[in-house]
């Protein structure tokens, strides 16, 4: 009897033993006509893994991940992907037609083939958002409602996807819609050329249905994460008292939002931010990343020295396209408008026609127009030829060490184009002056009696 009882206990123990939890996915594939030597998996901005390609363009690896949306990146192309533990997913694509050729097979393929079809449909719709954001409110809402309806109809007709993925996609469509509405609020004034714009009360009330503190959706729906960060970024930028918003976030926000938001606001530590101190204090309270906080403190201390009236950092003996070298000291006695650019920078090049017009308008006045390229030394000939071919005017200089030039570092330049205005005494007028395409630049010049 005792033997039978012991055997029963042992059998029960083995029968009740918990199955090992699978916390990884298998991911493999083949890329025809590869443009890089690897593929990378990102979750948001964070790289999860970089997987090398074989000479045949194949790859395979194990990913320890949580269920959720990720992106696959290869060369300059990327695509949304959904991954979960236990997936054994295989992808095939040809870079000659990246989005058109993506196909998945294996466990998890049905969800991902839906995603690929959804994003291809978005691409084929080819909405011109510069025109969409310039629309009047009713027309804009009609367009966005139509976009949302098409996505919802496509999801409704997708019978093979899993229920959990369907629920996430329903949320994703909802937040993508509100992200577009939020962008309209931000961009309409620019694209419609309206200095002051506020949407109607009915438009604003649409956001009352959103939960702005949903930790679960933040963790699982990428479009909600982007929407929420943009929402608080916009709210802070429109506020006359951002400290109050930071305090509320610090008190009531969940840790993941606070951490991510603190990172996304790093570019607001800039000379043009009239609430610089409030942003610095707010970011320091939101973040628990000591290394990041140290970086922000260094940037803040540097930016604080770039206020109007402070002595300008100098560039010294930069190569002049016409021969010899030029330093800021050589231009003392004149206003100096500095355009920091590079030959590879599309937005920089788009400013060239406007810059030529402003130079022409103020030709012979007490101002020097200086264009400083931060191209790498290996692109020197490209710079020489572009200046010549585009017939660029003003003083054309090349920085001594691209992004690591002391002038670039001293002005805390992290993105280009960047425009700087310095007065005849070598003091800062604006460390982030208006672009040539912005009418406010000419207004500023006229205010200074240039």
User: What pLDDT score does 21 carry?
Assistant: 64
DSSP3 helix / strand / coil % (the chain, rounded to 5): 50, 20, 30
In this structure, the number of other CB atoms found within 10 A of the CB of residue 449 comes to 7
The verdict on residue 310 lying in a domain is: no
Q: Which of 280, 305, 330 is the last residue of a domain?
A: 305
Of 372, 307, 291, the residue nearest 339 (C-alpha): 372
Residue span of the structural domain in which 192 resides: 129-305
Report residue 282 as tokens. Answer: 């707010």
User: What pLDDT score does 19 carry?
Assistant: 53
Assess whether 287 and 328 both reside in one domain: no
The verdict on residue 11 lying in a domain is: no
Decide if 422 contacts 415 (C-beta within 8 A).
no
The verdict on residue 151 lying in a domain is: yes
Q: In this structure, what is the dihedral angle of CA atoms 355, 359, 362, 364, given to the nearest 10 degrees?
A: 170
Apex CA 299: angle with CA 298 and CA 302, to 5°?
90
Assess whether 36 and 166 both reside in one domain: no
In this structure, the number of other CB atoms found within 10 A of the CB of residue 65 comes to 19
The verdict on residue 377 lying in a domain is: yes
The verdict on residue 221 lying in a domain is: yes
pTM: 0.77
Q: In this structure, what is the dihedral angle of CA atoms 134, 181, 141, 196, given to the nearest 10 degrees?
A: -40
User: What pLDDT score does 197 carry?
Assistant: 83
Assess whether 146 and 290 both reside in one domain: yes
Q: Which of 261, 277, 305 is the last residue of a domain?
A: 305
Assess whether 362 and 442 both reside in one domain: yes
Q: Domain containing 76 — which CATH number?
A: 2.60.40
Assess whether 133 and 257 both reside in one domain: yes
Residue reference for tokens 């003091």: 427
Assess whether 170 and 299 both reside in one domain: yes
Assess whether 405 and 340 both reside in one domain: yes
Q: How far apart are CA 215 and CA 252, in angstroms?
A: 12
Work out how many domains the chain is built from and give that number: 3
Digitized pLDDT (tens) for each residue of the chain, 450 residues in all:
444 444 444 444 444 455 556 678 999 999 999 999 999 999 887 899 999 999 999 999 999 988 889 999 999 999 999 999 999 999 999 999 999 999 999 999 999 999 999 988 888 888 898 899 999 999 999 999 999 999 999 999 998 899 999 999 999 999 999 999 999 988 998 888 887 788 999 999 999 999 999 999 999 898 999 999 999 999 999 899 999 999 999 999 999 999 999 999 999 999 989 999 999 999 999 999 999 999 999 999 999 999 999 999 999 999 999 999 999 999 999 999 999 999 999 999 999 999 999 999 999 999 999 999 999 999 999 999 999 999 999 999 999 999 999 999 999 998 999 999 999 999 999 999 999 999 999 999 999 999
The verdict on residue 141 lying in a domain is: yes
Assess whether 301 and 345 both reside in one domain: no
Q: Domain containing 414 — which CATH number?
A: 3.40.30.10
Assess whether 79 and 223 both reside in one domain: no
User: What pLDDT score does 13 carry?
Assistant: 45
Q: How far apart are CA 344 and CA 342, in angstroms?
A: 5
Which residues neighbour 223 within 8 Å (Cβ) at sequence distance 6 or greater?
171, 172, 175, 176, 179
User: What pLDDT score does 11 carry?
Assistant: 46
Q: Which of 76, 109, 142 is the last residue of a domain?
A: 109
Assess whether 146 and 288 both reside in one domain: yes
User: What pLDDT score does 351 carry?
Assistant: 96
Residue reference for tokens 């000479």: 55
Assess whether 380 and 263 both reside in one domain: no
Assess whether 221 and 352 both reside in one domain: no
The verdict on residue 122 lying in a domain is: no
Decide if 5 contacts 32 (C-beta within 8 A).
no
The verdict on residue 243 lying in a domain is: yes
Decide if 245 contacts 258 (C-beta within 8 A).
no
In this structure, the number of other CB atoms found within 10 A of the CB of residue 17 comes to 8
């Amino acid at each position: 009897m005792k033997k039978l009882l012991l055997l029963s206990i042992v059998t029960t123990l083995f029968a009740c033993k918990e199955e090992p939890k699978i916390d990884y996915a298998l991911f493999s594939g083949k890329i025809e006509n590869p443009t890089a030597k690897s593929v990378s998996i990102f979750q948001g901005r964070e790289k999860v893994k970089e997987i090398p390609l074989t000479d045949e363009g194949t790859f395979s690896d194990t990913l320890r991940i949580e269920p959720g949306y990720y992106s696959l990146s290869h060369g300059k192309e990327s695509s949304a992907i959904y991954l979960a533990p236990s997936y054994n997913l295989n992808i095939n694509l040809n870079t000659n037609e990246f989005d058109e050729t993506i196909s998945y097979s294996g466990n998890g393929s049905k969800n991902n083939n839906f995603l690929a079809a959804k994003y291809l449909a978005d691409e084929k719709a080819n909405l011109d958002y510069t025109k969409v954001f310039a629309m009047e409110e009713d027309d804009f809402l009609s367009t966005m409602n139509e976009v949302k309806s098409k996505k919802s109809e496509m999801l409704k007709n997708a019978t093979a996807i899993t229920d959990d993925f369907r629920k996430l996609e329903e949320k994703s469509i909802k937040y993508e819609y509100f992200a577009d509405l939020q962008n309209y609020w931000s961009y309409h004034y620019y694209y419609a050329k309206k200095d002051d714009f506020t949407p109607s009360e009915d438009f604003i009330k649409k956001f009352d249905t959103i939960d702005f503190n949903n930790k679960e959706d933040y963790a699982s729906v990428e479009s909600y994460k982007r929407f929420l960060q943009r929402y608080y970024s916009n709210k802070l930028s429109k506020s006359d008292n951002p400290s109050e918003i930071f305090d509320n976030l610090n008190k009531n926000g969940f840790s993941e939002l606070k951490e991510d938001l603190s990172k996304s606001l790093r570019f607001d530590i800039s000379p043009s931010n009239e609430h610089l101190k409030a942003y610095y204090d707010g970011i320091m309270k939101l973040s628990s990343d000591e290394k990041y906080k140290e970086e922000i403190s260094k940037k803040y201390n540097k930016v604080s020295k770039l206020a109007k009236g402070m002595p300008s950092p100098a560039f010294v003996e930069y190569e002049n396209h016409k021969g010899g070298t030029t330093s800021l000291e050589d231009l003392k006695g004149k206003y100096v408008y500095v355009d920091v650019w590079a030959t590879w920078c599309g937005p920089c090049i788009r400013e060239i026609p406007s810059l030529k017009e402003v130079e022409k308008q103020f030709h012979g006045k007490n101002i020097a127009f200086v264009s400083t390229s931060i191209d790498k030394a290996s692109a020197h000939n490209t710079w020489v030829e572009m200046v010549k071919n585009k017939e660029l005017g003003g003083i054309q200089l090349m920085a001594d060490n691209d992004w690591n030039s002391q002038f670039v570092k001293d002005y805390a330049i992290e993105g280009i184009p960047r425009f700087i205005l310095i007065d005849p005494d070598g003091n800062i007028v604006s460390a982030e002056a208006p672009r040539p395409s912005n009418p406010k630049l000419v207004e500023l010049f006229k205010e200074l009696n240039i």
